[in-house]
Amino acid sequence: MDLSQKKLFLLDLDGTLYLEETLLPGAAEFLEYVRSRGGCYRFLTNNSSRGVDAGLEKMHRLGVPAVPEEFLTAVEATIHYLRTVRSPNDIYYAVGTASFCRQIAQAGFSLRDTPTEDVTAVLVGYDTTLTYEKVQDACRLLCRGADFLATNPDLACPTLFGFVPDCGSICAMLENACGRKPVFIGKPDPTMIRLAWAQTGYGPAETLMVGDRLYTDIACGVHAGVDTALVLTGEATAADAAVSDTPPTAVYENMAQLLAALRQADHEKGETA
């Protein structure tokens, strides 16, 4: 992989650029360097618990310049899926945060607060406000035949103390109870990468997907046909990468090490130009 050819950097957030309120080593410097060399980046996150406004506020709080157009989320991928694949007459029961439900409703889709007879699909996100009542309502709907959709398959969300259950774990609980498997919409599906290409005009050869999870971030890049970089600041380990069905193109300890490699590649290209 020739890093000097890369102009579009697709970056996961949780476990890649930051952990909770802590910016990870090299993250801010990497973004600054990409801008200085005329490239661009997009933040690709499967975290559906908050909207772009919250993500933007967090980046600013961490001292990182960002604009709304730089965010591509699992919620946007879900909205794209609902518009292009599902019937406009579908009615959804959402297992998600208030922010998630608000974004889905603002996009023009019908939501119900209770498991009414007219609900055609259960839509599950990373719900940090999960209650047993929501779980029971979702089970009631799934057991009577409603479709099962979910924003992302991530099993755990990284924190400073370890991990907490993400959307994939919530879905596993529902699957165990109801015997139903969900259709997952976010990464590793390559929709967000394709949306990034449409926004920026770049293509596969100029793109690098960077993340900390093999089965979402790296698999997303593999499915889109782009080079990938795994950073070891989140879920996956180098040993995991060595036996993965979707191995990364390269592995780095953190964003600082990736930045050093990018600078070296640019330097070598300058010397041989």
pLDDT in tens, 194-230: 999 999 999 999 999 999 999 999 999 999 999 999 9
Cα–Cα distance list, 162 to 46, 105, 243 (Å) = 18, 33, 23
Q: How confident is the model at residue 270 (pLDDT cuts 50, 70, 90)?
A: confident
Which part of the chain is CATH 3.40.50.1000? Answer: 3-46+187-272, 85-184
End-to-end CA distance of the chain: 18
In this prediction the pTM is 0.86
- Assigned fold of 85-184: Rossmann fold (3.40.50)
Q: Which residue has the tokens 């990182």?
A: 64
Res 128: pLDDT: 96
Q: Distance (Å, rounded) from C-alpha 107 to C-alpha 76?
A: 10
Q: Are 165 and 172 in contact (CB under 8 A)?
A: no
**CATH of region 3-46+187-272, choose from 3.50.50.60, 3.40.50.300, 3.40.190.10, 3.40.50.1000:** 3.40.50.1000
Q: Are 191 and 152 in contact (CB under 8 A)?
A: no
Q: Dihedral of the CA atoms 52, 58, 64, 66 (nearest 10)?
A: 20
Cα–Cα distance list, 12 to 182, 218, 241, 264 (Å) = 23, 10, 17, 23
